[in-house]
Amino acid sequence: MKTRVKLSFHLILTLAVMLTMAQTAWAATKIETRTATWYMDGGASSNTIVQGTHVLNSGGMTLEYKNNNTAANTIYMNPSNNQVVFRLNIISCGGFLEFTNLQGTVKKVEFTNVRFYNDMQMYVGKDKNDNSTLLHVAGNASDYDFPSIDSQEPGNATFEGSLAVSPSSPLRIMFSSSNSETSGYFGFRDGTIVVTYDVEVENTDDPGHSFTFAANASSDAIIATCTEGSAYHNCGLTNRQVTMPFEANDVPYDGFRHYASLNQTAFNNAGITNIAAILSYKDKSTNETLENPPAVIGSYTATASVTVTYKETAHPFTLTKDFDILAGFKVNNNYSQFSVSKISALEGDEVTITYTQLMDEILEGLTLTGATSGNNIAYTQSGNTYTFNMPAEDVNLSATFTYPLNENNITQSGDTYTIKTAEGWNYFCQRMEVDGDLNGFSGKTVMLDDNITVTTMAGSTTRPFKGMFDGDGHTLTFNYTADMPNCAPFHITNGATIRNLHATGLIEGGIWHNMGGLVGSASGNLTIENCRVSTQISSTINGEAGHGGIVGYVQYTNYLVDCNITGCVYDGLIYNSNTWNQTYGCGGFVGAMSQYANVDLTDCLFLHGQYDNNGNKCELYWGYDNDRNSTFFHRSNGYGEGKLTNCFYVSTRGLKQGSPAVESADAPDNFAHFGDPTTDHGFLKVYGHTMVFDGKYYTPTCGDLVETYSYSGDKSYIIEYDDMPLGIKDVKTKQRTKYLRYNRPFTKDKAVTIMLPFDFRKNDIRRGEYDNISEGKFYEFAGIEEVPINMWIAVMKEVGEEGSNEETTMKANTPYLFMPGENANYLYFTNGDDYDQGFDIFTEGYERGNKQTEYDGSDGTYSWNKWNFKGTYQPRYWSDSENPEEIGKVYGFAGATKDVDEKHVVAGDFVRAKSGAKIRPTSCYLMWAGSEPSNARALTRSAAATEDLPQRITVKLVSASGETTAIGTLDTKTGELSFDSESWYTLDGVRLSGKPSSKGIYINNGKMVVIK
Ligand SMILES: [Zn+2]
């Protein structure tokens, strides 16, 4: 058995400096790595043949065996056993092998299955004595690399390095031995010699493009031109050019920003990839540079500062491109079921409309028409997608839907819908959102048929409720946790009317503003009639919340918004659910108003809700200015206008608005004299100045003397002169006011009786708040004259000295006659020209205001002294049960000619009151003071005793100096004094049957007339 001897390669590795063949600028040559292989198999494969005796040829490459015995330098080839042997003693004959035609730089020489033995060393290189010309076996540092082995077994060896060789300086395989006598053996058995070497060859590769760069003529593109001159360059580019255009197209408006862009595709494909650019935009109309790419309609210039870096050279350019954002054409779509792919499109652009079913509605048809031409526009349908090309006009989208409804929940009859259940309410809300053609139920009436509890809001910003909602007296309970502003049963309205509804429930407002107990936001006119709102609103806002008991926000849109609330009661509560004394800016009826809001409240009642500071119903931050909380409406930022008519509140700790009222379980005095309510608002019934709600009575603190606060909180008073029985209650504490309005119609030259609860001068009366002083004169009772033929004349004397009526002070609580100098619907009192000084209101003696002027008999002019002239602040009735003892002794003042007690009464007379007569507050009457009955039993006798009293009493007005100026008569019902143009009197007050024919001075129509 042969033992394989370990090959012990002591190679000296001399790392030759790698001579990297520089890639020369001359691109016509290149280094090619080749191999030459000699199959040392004795000619078995015929790949290597022997030429003559000493040259091995393999593919034209020659390996020559040289020695000093030319006759014997043979190479022995034995194909039968794949053997090659270089004969002779290779040492003694000085033999070596030479690659005679190898040209290039040798990198590697590999031997396989080499048989090399008998004390020899092998060198591969050029000169075995010059180590720098040798290749080496990796890891060996010997001057030779391959010692022979004492075995005939074949082995392998690889020599590496870098060594330039040529036929004149050839690569050799050389040998040495320390023993020149040895008969060394060098041969192969089925081996190879492989030489790897680099040669410089002509370069036929395509070197690729080589570009130069330039902007085009219009400076909106960069053109790269290939200038590569190599014959082997197959450029492939059209005109040897590629273009990078700066692109910005005209686009239709779509709400988005529009960017210009460098189209780098062609450059990138041509290997130009290092491109940097900074883009900017200018508005062409203003020439201003924009911070961002434009998004609105206009004309623009985009600029790109571009740097193209190519083969380490930077090429800077500035490109510009103009483009427009055009209005384009749009689809007019009022259906939330349809979405349109584009806000606007240019003519010819493809537009897609997508249909989404929102409830159980059925789409019956879709029609597109030109908005200008009316032309039908063709589309293609694919499922729920409709596609068309935009014409050169806007497109109107119209669709036909049917909406099935469940008649258990809601029914429809013509324009009236009737909600029966909460599901019906939900249908109502959903239908409003979904059915664009319904237009928020505009022109429709929605009735409520039952009490229901709901959690869905009706109406939205895009689909506000616009119709009429009639609760028919039912209760809508709305419970909601706020997730946006303006939460309310009716979230957003526009032009709506809501009536006869009781709204209640709880809205947890949290951090959100402008909750409303009934309506969240009126974004258009709103009318609320005859409603009761008990909704409670909680808030966690520590600041201005703007919640409204009934309406959260009256919101300006693009026109004045009127909000009219009539006959409504708020008995809900607004509270902070966490903190005491923090939430403000709320209103009992309206929480906030925008600048152009106009709120008009009539016959409304604010009832203070119940706080529970221990039960998370913490009180609001009370105060008395607009920024805090207001009884009826809160004016945020002082915005909006408000008007209150006959609106009452029962206690407030916020800004007072309307009139303070007293709540009572008992009917007020004289309530029995009310007939039907003045106005029946359903939940709330109004009787003059008395309101009845939920079995309780609400009356102004001073009755028909109404303390009233304007929307800004300014206090004033109104005295209502009406047929209502409330009257003026005692004002025991003087009430200071800057002005007072006495609502009573006055007719020029038609005298009236009057008594007022404050001192005034005639100069204090103004027709309007800043108008002229009213004309007219005041007269006081002077006494009764008796004239022949049982004629009695009440003499009324102008107050003050002659001509001083303007300046003389009329006394509070004193009966007068007033002769108006002009027509007026009311008298307006201020303290003369000193508006700010004000005056005091009080009733004297706390006698419910029933005052009289008694004749004391001191004026001898008048023979009778048994008459009193009395004024009243209470309506006064004469009947079998009320003041019966006065019947027959009381004379009212006839304001018009009429039949009383089957007798013709002429206007201008005092007439005797009969049972059933009454007189209004602030009016006066004459009463016979003689032979007064002491008790009711004397009624019959008293009637007899007054039998002689006249049926009517003529009134004579005299000037301060005693001159008769007018004669007239008193209405049992109105207390008005008038002067009949048909009646003629002598200056003594004797009434004539007609116009006199005798010469003289007479009184006619309240004036002196001279008959000649
Ligand atoms: Zn090219």
Q: What is the mean pLDDT of residues 334-358?
A: 94
pLDDT at 943: 36
* Ligand 1 geometric centre to CA of 239 (Å): 9
Residue 828 has which token pair? 């307006």
* Ligand 1 geometric centre to CA of 995 (Å): 130
pLDDT at 109: 95
Looking up tokens 């025991």 gives 732
DSSP string, 472-504: TT-EEEE-EE-SSSS-SSEEEESSEEEES-EEE
pLDDT at 861: 56
Q: What is the mean pLDDT of residues 832-860?
A: 66
**Amino acid code (one letter) for 344:** S
pLDDT at 987 over 80: no
* Ligand 1 geometric centre to CA of 304 (Å): 26
* Ligand 1 geometric centre to CA of 278 (Å): 28
Predicted confidence band at 118 (pLDDT cuts at 50, 70, 90)?
confident
Element (H, E) at 940: helix 939-945
Q: Where are any strands of DSSP class E within 550-655?
A: 551-554, 561-566, 569-570, 573-576, 590-593, 597-602, 605-607, 641-645, 648-650
pLDDT at 423 over 80: yes
pLDDT digits (tens, 9 = 90+) for 953-967: 666 666 666 666 666
Q: Please report, rounded to a whole number, the percentage of residues in the chain having pLDDT higher than 70.
A: 82
* Ligand 1 geometric centre to CA of 346 (Å): 40
Beta strand pairing status for 690-693 and 684-687?
antiparallel
Task: Determine the Cα angle at 7 with ends 6 and 11, to 5°.
Answer: 145
CA distance 635 to 593: 6
Q: What is the mean pLDDT of residues 910-917?
A: 60
549, 533 in Cβ contact below 8 A? Answer: yes
Distances in whole angstroms, Cα of residue 105 to Cα of each of 163, 233, 530: 5, 29, 112
Q: In what order do the strands lie in the sheet with 536-539?
A: 480-481, 506-508, 536-539, 573-576
pLDDT at 5 over 60: no
pLDDT at 309: 97
* Ligand 1 geometric centre to CA of 242 (Å): 10
* Ligand 1 geometric centre to CA of 310 (Å): 14
pLDDT at 145 over 50: yes
* Ligand 1 geometric centre to CA of 214 (Å): 16
Q: What is the mean pLDDT of residues 739-752?
A: 85
Of 426 and 872, the structure prediction assigns the larger pLDDT to 426
Q: Which of 199, 144, 195 is nearest to 166 (CA)?
A: 199
Taking the complete model, does pTM exceed 0.75, yes or no? Answer: no
**Amino acid code (one letter) for 104:** G
Q: What is the mean pLDDT of residues 6-15?
A: 32
Average pLDDT of every residue of the chain: 84
Predicted confidence band at 931 (pLDDT cuts at 50, 70, 90)?
very low
* Ligand 1 geometric centre to CA of 697 (Å): 102
DSSP string, 57-94: EETTEEEEEE-S-TTT--EEEEGGGTEEEE-S-TTTTT
Q: Please report, rounded to a whole number, the percentage of residues in the chain having pLDDT higher than 90.
A: 50
* Ligand 1 geometric centre to CA of 882 (Å): 123
* Ligand 1 geometric centre to CA of 308 (Å): 17
Q: What is the mean pLDDT of residues 625-632?
A: 78
pLDDT digits (tens, 9 = 90+) for 24-55: 344 578 899 999 999 999 988 888 888 888 89
pLDDT digits (tens, 9 = 90+) for 681-719: 999 999 988 999 999 999 998 888 999 998 888 889 999
* Ligand 1 geometric centre to CA of 231 (Å): 11
Of 503 and 204, the structure prediction assigns the larger pLDDT to 503
Q: φ and ψ at 774, to 5 degrees?
A: -75, 150
Q: φ and ψ at 72, to 5 degrees?
A: -120, 10
* Ligand 1 geometric centre to CA of 220 (Å): 23
* Ligand 1 geometric centre to CA of 29 (Å): 20
* Ligand 1 geometric centre to CA of 303 (Å): 29
* Ligand 1 geometric centre to CA of 219 (Å): 23
* Ligand 1 geometric centre to CA of 267 (Å): 12
pLDDT digits (tens, 9 = 90+) for 525-546: 999 999 999 999 999 999 899 9
Burial of 814 (0-12, 13-18, 19+ CB in 10 A): buried
pLDDT digits (tens, 9 = 90+) for 867-905: 678 888 888 777 777 777 777 666 655 444 444 444 444
pLDDT at 104: 94
* Ligand 1 geometric centre to CA of 988 (Å): 134
* Ligand 1 geometric centre to CA of 456 (Å): 71
CA distance 607 to 647: 11
pLDDT at 936: 31
pLDDT at 505: 98
Partners of 817 in the β-ladder: 753, 779
CA distance 328 to 319: 27
* Ligand 1 geometric centre to CA of 611 (Å): 89
477, 516 in Cβ contact below 8 A? Answer: no
* Ligand 1 geometric centre to CA of 279 (Å): 29
* Ligand 1 geometric centre to CA of 406 (Å): 77
* Ligand 1 geometric centre to CA of 203 (Å): 17
Q: Which of 184, 166, 187, 167 is nearest to 175 (CA)?
A: 184
Highest mean pLDDT among 184-193, 565-574, 737-746, 814-823: 565-574
Burial of 178 (0-12, 13-18, 19+ CB in 10 A): exposed
DSSP string, 653-680: SSB--BEEEEEESSPPTTGGG--S-SEE
Predicted confidence band at 980 (pLDDT cuts at 50, 70, 90)?
low
pLDDT at 846 over 80: no
pLDDT at 795 over 90: no
pLDDT at 951: 52
* Ligand 1 geometric centre to CA of 53 (Å): 55
CA distance 1009 to 999: 10
* Ligand 1 geometric centre to CA of 224 (Å): 10
pLDDT at 22: 35
* Ligand 1 geometric centre to CA of 309 (Å): 17
* Ligand 1 geometric centre to CA of 243 (Å): 13
* Ligand 1 geometric centre to CA of 247 (Å): 25
* Ligand 1 geometric centre to CA of 651 (Å): 95
Q: What is the mean pLDDT of residues 101-127?
A: 91
Predicted confidence band at 201 (pLDDT cuts at 50, 70, 90)?
confident
Partners of 812 in the β-ladder: none
**Amino acid code (one letter) for 467:** G
Of 740 and 967, the structure prediction assigns the larger pLDDT to 740
* Ligand 1 geometric centre to CA of 32 (Å): 25
* Ligand 1 geometric centre to CA of 226 (Å): 4
Q: φ and ψ at 524, to 5 degrees?
A: -160, -175
pLDDT at 273 over 70: yes
Burial of 718 (0-12, 13-18, 19+ CB in 10 A): buried
* Ligand 1 geometric centre to CA of 272 (Å): 12
CA distance 56 to 96: 13
Of 971 and 965, the structure prediction assigns the larger pLDDT to 965
pLDDT at 681: 96
pLDDT at 950 over 60: no
631, 570 in Cβ contact below 8 A? Answer: no
Sign of the four-CA dihedral 760, 766, 767, 768: negative
594, 550 in Cβ contact below 8 A? Answer: no
* Ligand 1 geometric centre to CA of 235 (Å): 4
Q: What is the mean pLDDT of residues 720-733?
A: 82
Taking every pair of Cα atoms in the chain, the longest distance, rounded to a whole number of angstroms, is 198
* Ligand 1 geometric centre to CA of 875 (Å): 114
Q: Which of 299, 384, 292 is nearest to 339 (CA)?
A: 384
Return the HEC string of 368-418. Answer: EEECCCCCECCCEEECCEEEEECCCCCEEEEEEEECCCCCCCEEEECCEEE
DSSP string, 280-330: EEEETTTTEEESS---SSEEEEEEEEEEEEETTEEEEEEEEEEEEEE--B-
Element (H, E) at 589: none
* Ligand 1 geometric centre to CA of 271 (Å): 11
Of 157 and 894, the structure prediction assigns the larger pLDDT to 157
* Ligand 1 geometric centre to CA of 229 (Å): 9
* Ligand 1 geometric centre to CA of 31 (Å): 24
546, 634 in Cβ contact below 8 A? Answer: yes
pLDDT at 804: 73
Task: Determine the Cα angle at 102 with ends 98 and 103, to 5°.
Answer: 135
Of 357 and 763, the structure prediction assigns the larger pLDDT to 357
* Ligand 1 geometric centre to CA of 234 (Å): 7
pLDDT at 1 over 50: no
* Ligand 1 geometric centre to CA of 225 (Å): 8
Q: Which of 719, 723, 701, 925 is nearest to 829 (CA)?
A: 719
pLDDT at 195 over 90: yes
* Ligand 1 geometric centre to CA of 415 (Å): 79
Q: What is the mean pLDDT of residues 450-464?
A: 96
pLDDT at 16: 30
